[in-house]
Copies of this chain bind each other. A is one copy, B any other.
């Protein structure tokens, strides 16, 4: 076994290697991370694994929680408490929200169970030893899970609004639905207040639906603050560590990743990932212009010489492989042709590769999601990364890879922004719809200005992200 197979202790040993090759082979595709997990995080992960083993599906504790749920009566105290995560939105979103839910479970000593949706089991290995993280199919509320939304009466927000929760009383609901999706309202957002967390901590089962990486706002909840900074002395590594801990491509997906890497990327001297996510139709020229402007200005790719037909390289010829991902093929064809038709001024050689062009999001298709996951992962194996604003697909790649990408600003009015891109401050994902509420003062507040390590994002002025702040270290 090569040295850092277990990623500095992030991964527990003792899994069956054949059932999840990626768990043991990833370290031979990715450069070792410069960011080590804290020993406290490692010990908390090991104790979470014990908890999961003790309380996971079909354990005594799980069975009694299910019984209580079926009985429909109020809850009595249970040995184990649970948080159920509902699969929702695109795959990038799901990976980020599942990480958020896991961190919330860690912080609140809950057991995380995953609604497998259409294809979680097809895409990911089991992350915890012995007991599955998948919600059993006979879970009582199983059929209702994907109907839960902002209107659901049993949501924490709606029950608060309708005064159905007496947070001071002993009596407790057997479960609560937490609606944390982008359309959540002010009552739902009270999830981020300390006193509500105190109440929630007593509810045996929480069911969560979200398309947001809500971790930054957890750092603003006073009762979590200390624990979080002990777990993550380097604040910008939360998803970097949790993502690599939780998400191991299934053997199917690992085949896609390793075959593509070996056929197209492994022989290059340098790998550049470019993730293009365009929220309008076609292959607009201004996006192409923006890609060139960013990669050339930031010297990520060499300029081409439009005058000469051949430029000899001085010394050994450098081969750069560009891995481009996008729903359409136009951008990569453009770039590939540019570097085919003209020499670079440096004499370097540039190859351009795009694994798929699926044309539109098809979240219901197995192979589509496998490819999406393979592509996020492949992007995370590059040396230099360029991503698109607002895209969780790109955030996943940067986080897994431990990369600080150059992020392409969102074009407005069909024109390329100037500057075209900037390098991000931290490798953390952006929380797109954070609350702006001071729970104590009960007024609005700029949550991006309260502490140095929670800032507004580069690509979305109202978003929040974690950064390492030198003055805090």
Q: Digitize A239-267: 1 where CB-to-B-CB distance is under 8 Å, 0 elsewhere.
A: 00000000000111011101110111001
Check A258 against B340 for contact (C-beta < 8 Å): no
Given A264-B351, A267-B267, A351-B264, also A340-B310 (CB < 8 A): no
Copies in the complex: 2
- Is A221 an interface residue when CB atoms closer than 8 A count as contact? no
Check A349 against B319 for contact (C-beta < 8 Å): no
Which residue of B has the minimal Cβ distance to A305?
Answer: B255
Check B262 against A319 for contact (C-beta < 8 Å): yes
Given A260-B340, A317-B262, A340-B259, also A252-B351 (CB < 8 A): no
Q: Digitize A335-350: 1 where CB-to-B-CB distance is under 8 Å, 0 elsewhere.
A: 0000111110000011
Check B310 against A263 for contact (C-beta < 8 Å): no
Residues of B within 8 A of A317 (CB): 262
Check A256 against B21 for contact (C-beta < 8 Å): no
Distance in angstroms from A265 CB to nearest chain B CB is 10
Distance in angstroms from A272 CB to nearest chain B CB is 13
Check B258 against A310 for contact (C-beta < 8 Å): yes
- Is A309 an interface residue when CB atoms closer than 8 A count as contact? yes
Residues of B within 8 A of A21 (CB): 310
What is the total number of residues of chain A having a CB less than 8 Å from a CB of chain B? 28
Residues of B within 8 A of A255 (CB): 309-310, 342-343
Q: Digitize A292-331: 1 where CB-to-B-CB distance is under 8 Å, 0 elsewhere.
A: 0000000000000000011000000101000000000000
Distance in angstroms from A398 CB to nearest chain B CB is 24
The residue from B252, B256, B262, B339 contacting A259, defined by CB atoms under 8 A apart:
B339
Residues of B within 8 A of A351 (CB): 263-264
In the assembled complex, the Cα of A339 lies from the Cα of B260 at a distance in Å of 9
In the assembled complex, the Cα of A159 lies from the Cα of B217 at a distance in Å of 93
Distance in angstroms from A321 CB to nearest chain B CB is 8
Residues of B within 8 A of A254 (CB): 309-310
Distance in angstroms from A247 CB to nearest chain B CB is 17
Q: Could you list which residues of chain A lie within 8 angstroms of chain B, going by C-beta atoms?
A: 21, 250-252, 254-256, 258-260, 262-264, 267, 309-310, 317, 319, 339-343, 349-351, 355, 367
19 of the cross-chain contacts (CB-CB < 8 Å) are A21-B310, A251-B310, A252-B309, A254-B310, A255-B309, A255-B342, A256-B340, A256-B341, A258-B310, A259-B340, A259-B343, A259-B349, A260-B340, A263-B319, A263-B339, A264-B351, A267-B267, A340-B355, A341-B367
